[in-house]
Structure 1
Amino acid sequence: MRLASLLGLPSFAAALVGAASFKDCQHKVKESIHDPPRGWYKHAPAPKHHVLELKIALPQPKFPELEQHLWEVSDPNHTRYGAHLSKEEADALMAPHPETLDIVSQWLASYGLAEEDLIRPSANDWVTIHVPVSLAEEMLNTTYHVYKNFKTGESIVRTTSYSLPEILHEHVDLIQPTTMFARFKAFKTTLHWANQAQALVSNSSGGMITGPAGNQVDASCNKTVTISCLRQLYNAVDYNTSATNCNRLAVTGYLGQIANDMDLQQFYQLQNPLAYGSNYTFVAIHGGANNQSYEAAGLEANLDTQVAFGLSWPTPGTFYSTGGEPPFIPDTPGSDNTNEPYTNWLHHVLSQDTLPQSISTSYGDDEQTVPYTYATRVCAGMATLGARGVSVVFSSGDGGVGDGDSNPATQQCFSNDGRNVTKFMPTFPASCPYVTAVGGTANVPETAVNFSGGGFSDYFHRPAYQDAAVSKYLAKLAPGTYEGLFNPMGRAYPDVAAQARNFATVYRGSTVSTAGTSCAAPTFIAFISMLNDARITAGKSPLGFLNPFLYSRGYAGLNDITKGQNPGCGTDGFNATVGWDPITGHGTPNFEKLKHLVLTMP
Structure 2
Amino acid sequence: MKLVTLLVLPFAAALASTAPFKGCQQKVKESIHGPPHRWYKHAPAPKHHMLELKIALPQPKFPELEQHLWEISDPSHARYGAYLSKQETEALMAPHPETLDIVNEWLALHGLAEEDVIHSSARDWVTIRVPVGLAEEMLDTTYHVYKHAETGESIVRTTSYSLPDILHHHIDLIQPTTMFARFKAFKSTMHWTNQAQPAVSIPPGATITGPAGNPVDASCNSTITLSCLRQLYNAENYKTTATNCNKLGLTGYLDQYVNNKDLQQFYQAQNPSAYGSDYTLVSINGGKNNQSYAAAGSEANLDTQFGFGLAWPTPGTFYTTGGEPHFIPDLMTPNNTNEPYSYWLDHVLSQDDIPQTISTSYGDDEQTVPYTYAIRVCAGMASLGARGVSLLFSSGDHGVGDGRANPASQRCKTNDGRNITTFLPMFPASCPYVTTVGGTVNIPETAASFSSGGFSNYFARPAYQEAAVSAYLAMLAPGTFEGLYNSTGRAFPDVAAQSESFSIIYQGQESLIAGTSCSSPTFAAFVSMLNDARINAQKTPLGFLNPFLYSIGYTALNDITDGNNPGCGTLGFNATVGWDPVTGYGTPNFEKLKDLVLAMP
State the Cα deviation string for residues 16-45 of structure 1 (Å, max 9, x = none): 962377486310000001111111111111
Shift of residue 338, structure 1, vs aligned partner: 3.4
State the Cα deviation string for residues 581-600 of structure 1 (Å, max 9, x = none): 00000000000000000000
State the Cα deviation string for residues 36-75 of structure 1 (Å, max 9, x = none): 1111111111111100010000000000000000000000
- Measured in 1, the distance between the counterparts of 2:203 and 2:97 equals 64
State the secondary structure of the residue aligned to 1:356: coil
The 3 A distance-change label for structure 1 pair 333 and 286 is: farther
1:324 and 2:291 correspond: no
1:483 is matched with 482
Shift of residue 337, structure 1, vs aligned partner: 3.2
Equivalent residue letter for 2:284 = I
1:110 is matched with 109
The 3 A distance-change label for structure 1 pair 423 and 509 is: same
Equivalent residue letter for 1:561 = I
1:534 and 2:533 correspond: yes
1:259 is matched with 258
- Measured in 1, the distance between the counterparts of 2:305 and 2:583 equals 23
2:517 is matched with 518
The 3 A distance-change label for structure 1 pair 382 and 200 is: farther
The 3 A distance-change label for structure 1 pair 200 and 267 is: farther
1:584 is matched with 583
- Is contact 1:119–1:128 with CA below 8 Å preserved after alignment? yes
2:40 is matched with 41
Equivalent residue letter for 1:453 = S
1:159 is matched with 158
Shift of residue 354, structure 1, vs aligned partner: 1.4
- Is contact 2:531–2:541 with CA below 8 Å preserved after alignment? yes
- Measured in 2, the distance between the counterparts of 1:297 and 1:585 equals 32
1:10 is matched with none
- Measured in 2, the distance between the counterparts of 1:230 and 1:204 equals 20
Shift of residue 327, structure 1, vs aligned partner: 13
- Is contact 1:328–1:338 with CA below 8 Å preserved after alignment? no
- Is contact 2:153–2:336 with CA below 8 Å preserved after alignment? no
State the secondary structure of the residue aligned to 1:451: coil
State the Cα deviation string for residues 493-536 of structure 1 (Å, max 9, x = none): 00000000000010010010000000000000000000000000
1:348-363 equivalences in 2 (<5 Å) = 348-363=347-362
2:307 is matched with 308
1:13 is matched with none
- Is contact 2:409–2:569 with CA below 8 Å preserved after alignment? no
- Measured in 2, the distance between the counterparts of 1:385 and 1:430 equals 16
Between the two proteins, what is the percent identity of the paired residues?
A: 75
1:214 and 2:217 correspond: no
The two structures have a TM-score, normalised by structure 2, of 0.95
1:432 is matched with 431
Structure 1 residue runs of 5 or longer lacking an equivalent are: 1-15
1:20-59 equivalences in 2 (<5 Å) = 22=21, 25-59=24-58
- Is contact 2:252–2:321 with CA below 8 Å preserved after alignment? yes
The 3 A distance-change label for structure 1 pair 256 and 428 is: same
The 3 A distance-change label for structure 1 pair 49 and 571 is: same
- Is contact 1:47–1:330 with CA below 8 Å preserved after alignment? no
- Measured in 2, the distance between the counterparts of 1:444 and 1:196 equals 23
- Measured in 2, the distance between the counterparts of 1:143 and 1:73 equals 46
Equivalent residue letter for 1:506 = I
1:196-211 equivalences in 2 (<5 Å) = 196-197=195-196, 205-211=204-210
- Is contact 1:156–1:328 with CA below 8 Å preserved after alignment? no
- Measured in 1, the distance between the counterparts of 2:22 and 2:332 equals 30
- Is contact 1:154–1:328 with CA below 8 Å preserved after alignment? no
State the Cα deviation string for residues 109-138 of structure 1 (Å, max 9, x = none): 111111111111110000000100000000
- Is contact 2:404–2:566 with CA below 8 Å preserved after alignment? no
1:286 is matched with 285
Shift of residue 334, structure 1, vs aligned partner: 8.7
1:245 is matched with 244
- Measured in 2, the distance between the counterparts of 1:406 and 1:594 equals 36
State the secondary structure of the residue aligned to 2:375: helix
State the secondary structure of the residue aligned to 1:431: coil
Shift of residue 291, structure 1, vs aligned partner: 1.1
1:370 is matched with 369
State the secondary structure of the residue aligned to 2:42: strand
State the Cα deviation string for residues 142-173 of structure 1 (Å, max 9, x = none): 00011111121111110010000011000000
* Number of residue pairs the alignment of both structures matches: 587
- Measured in 1, the distance between the counterparts of 2:524 and 2:389 equals 11
The 3 A distance-change label for structure 1 pair 409 and 258 is: farther
- Measured in 2, the distance between the counterparts of 1:200 and 1:244 equals 39
2:421 is matched with 422
- Measured in 2, the distance between the counterparts of 1:143 and 1:198 equals 51
State the secondary structure of the residue aligned to 2:35: coil
- Measured in 2, the distance between the counterparts of 1:118 and 1:56 equals 10
2:568 is matched with 569
1:390 and 2:389 correspond: yes
- Measured in 1, the distance between the counterparts of 2:192 and 2:510 equals 11
1:330-345 equivalences in 2 (<5 Å) = 331=330, 336-345=335-344
Equivalent residue letter for 2:371 = Y
State the secondary structure of the residue aligned to 1:157: strand
State the secondary structure of the residue aligned to 1:171: coil
- Is contact 1:75–1:81 with CA below 8 Å preserved after alignment? yes
2:74 is matched with 75
2:11 is matched with none
1:452 and 2:419 correspond: no
State the Cα deviation string for residues 449-479 of structure 1 (Å, max 9, x = none): 0000000000000000000000000000000
| Segment of structure 1 superposing worse, 23-32 or 261-270 | 23-32
- Measured in 1, the distance between the counterparts of 2:326 and 2:415 equals 23
Equivalent residue letter for 1:133 = V
- Measured in 1, the distance between the counterparts of 2:444 and 2:200 equals 24
The 3 A distance-change label for structure 1 pair 195 and 151 is: closer
1:228 is matched with 227
1:5 is matched with none
- Measured in 1, the distance between the counterparts of 2:68 and 2:113 equals 36
1:168 is matched with 167
Equivalent residue letter for 1:492 = A
2:8 is matched with none
Shift of residue 272, structure 1, vs aligned partner: 0.3
State the secondary structure of the residue aligned to 2:267: helix
Shift of residue 233, structure 1, vs aligned partner: 0.1
Equivalent residue letter for 1:592 = E
- Measured in 1, the distance between the counterparts of 2:456 and 2:484 equals 11
State the Cα deviation string for residues 58-108 of structure 1 (Å, max 9, x = none): 000000000000000000000000000100001100000011001101100
Equivalent residue letter for 1:126 = W
The 3 A distance-change label for structure 1 pair 315 and 255 is: same
Equivalent residue letter for 1:541 = T
- Measured in 1, the distance between the counterparts of 2:268 and 2:235 equals 20
- Measured in 2, the distance between the counterparts of 1:478 and 1:406 equals 19
State the secondary structure of the residue aligned to 1:42: strand
Equivalent residue letter for 1:508 = Q
2:146 is matched with 147
State the secondary structure of the residue aligned to 1:18: helix
Equivalent residue letter for 1:466 = Q
Equivalent residue letter for 2:342 = T
State the secondary structure of the residue aligned to 2:174: strand
- Measured in 2, the distance between the counterparts of 1:486 and 1:334 equals 37
2:600 is matched with 601
- Is contact 2:143–2:158 with CA below 8 Å preserved after alignment? yes
